[in-house]
């Protein structure tokens, strides 16, 4: 049970999110995937429930909830469509960055329309030549009077081209992390353009494009925080992002375990239901056990981040590594239990496998998660 140990309020958020996932998302999940539909109106309905700025302060339209509340909500929504929920988690991370590091004028200008999802946000860190080595990014922002002139490009940007607000990490100073600043761009700014829509294995309900800057002029008033603070902002955002994406993996795994349970009960081979086969019973037991372990780890990291504990970043990295790896294995095993049916697009389990696979790559690859954990252990 995903609700064990939660407060009454948390059970209520969870129920609202599960109901929304079951009614508004799950019936459309396959179509959004096949036709590559970005379900803007469905997400705006979710925003009316408070899911557009879950951990954003209430004075600018956010829900003001905790990191644990947020994790519970994303896990629940992800049972209905993992790809759409994952985009919503990135959007939430962007609004949180503006809310946390922006000044009053910026918070009031950007956050309310993002929290209502009247407008959508994208996070622009990765470049064609800098993924895991984010501190080597090359997009440059030259100061000219009260503007910056941006040149460069970003790769693999979720929502790119369809969204309105771009939180961009760019180089205003020398090499390395200390030369990076954070600018908020708006669609329609001269010099801002987009690459072709990428064809992806999963995550098809959200468009992915390159974001290109050619002498793009941005007011200095659109800079979040101080010059040189960008990398710090990016990494703080990603601590939450890692919990969020791990939570989306939990939802996909939970849904896949339920699908496997149902299939084992219905499907007969050798004269009896597959559910009578002890090997499959044991595999199902292992899947459920690994899911619960991953869920506890993610929720523990969410609490640590909420409390500002010094081990929070490491716990977020461990949770992201463990949950995204384990949950992919769970979904993949659920597909195997479906036999040939699992490989048909009429069955949802294959979409969970495709949508969840990329969670081991983005928001910091799982190899980078290992680096962060190892560094912490060896520096003691």
Instruction: List active site positions.
Output: 363
DSSP strands (E only) in the chain: 121-124, 140-144, 147-158, 165-171, 180-186, 192-194, 208-219, 223-224, 268-269, 272-273
HSE value, Cβ hemisphere, 13 Å, CA-based, for 296: 9
Q: How far apart are CA 21 and CA 143, in angstroms?
A: 45
> What is the SS3 assignment for 89?
helix
Q: How many residues belong to the chain?
A: 380
Judge whether 173 and 224 are in contact, CB under 8 Å. Answer: no
DSSP 222-261: GEESSTT-HHHHHHHHHHHHHHHHHHHHHHHHHHHHHHHH
What are the helix and strand counts (H, E) for the chain?
A: 11, 10
């Amino acid at each position: 049970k995903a609700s064990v140990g939660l407060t009454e309020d948390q059970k209520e958020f969870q129920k609202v999110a599960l109901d929304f996932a079951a009614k508004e998302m799950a019936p459309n999940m396959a179509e959004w995937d096949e036709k590559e539909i970005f379900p803007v109106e469905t997400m705006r309905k979710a925003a009316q429930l408070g899911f557009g700025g879950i951990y954003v302060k209430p004075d600018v339209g956010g829900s003001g909830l905790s990191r644990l509340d947020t994790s519970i909500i994303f896990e629940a929504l992800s049972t209905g469509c993992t790809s759409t929920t994952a985009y919503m988690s990135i959007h939430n991370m962007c609004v949180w960055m503006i809310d946390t590091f922006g000044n009053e004028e910026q918070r009031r200008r950007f956050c309310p329309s993002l929290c209502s999802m009247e407008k959508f946000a994208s996070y622009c860190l990765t470049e064609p030549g800098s993924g895991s080595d984010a501190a080597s990014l090359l997009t440059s922002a030259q100061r000219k009077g009260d503007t910056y002139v941006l040149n460069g490009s970003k790769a693999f940007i979720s929502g790119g081209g369809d969204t309105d607000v771009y939180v961009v990490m760019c180089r205003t100073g020398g090499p390395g992390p200390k030369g990076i600043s954070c600018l908020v761009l708006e669609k329609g700014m001269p010099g801002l353009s987009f690459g072709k829509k990428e064809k992806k294995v999963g995550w098809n309900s959200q468009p992915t494009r390159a974001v290109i800057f050619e002498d793009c002029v941005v007011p200095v008033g659109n800079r979040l925080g101080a010059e040189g603070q960008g990398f710090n902002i990016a990494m703080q955002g990603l601590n939450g992002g890692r919990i969020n994406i791990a939570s989306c993996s939990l939802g996909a795994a939970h849904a896949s375990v339920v699908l496997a349970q149902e299939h084992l009960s219905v499907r007969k081979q050798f004269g009896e239901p597959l559910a009578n086969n002890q090997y499959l019973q044991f595999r199902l037991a292992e899947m459920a056990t690994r899911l619960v372990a991953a869920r506890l780890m993610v929720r523990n990291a969410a609490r640590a981040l909420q409390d500002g504990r010094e081990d929070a970043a490491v716990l977020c990295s461990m949770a992201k590594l463990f949950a995204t790896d384990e949950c992919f294995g769970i979904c993949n095993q659920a597909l195997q239990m479906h036999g040939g049916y699992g490989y048909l697009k009429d069955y949802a389990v294959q979409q969970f496998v495709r949508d969840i696979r990329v969670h081991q790559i983005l928001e910091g690859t799982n190899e980078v998660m290992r680096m962060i954990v190892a560094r912490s252990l060896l520096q003691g």
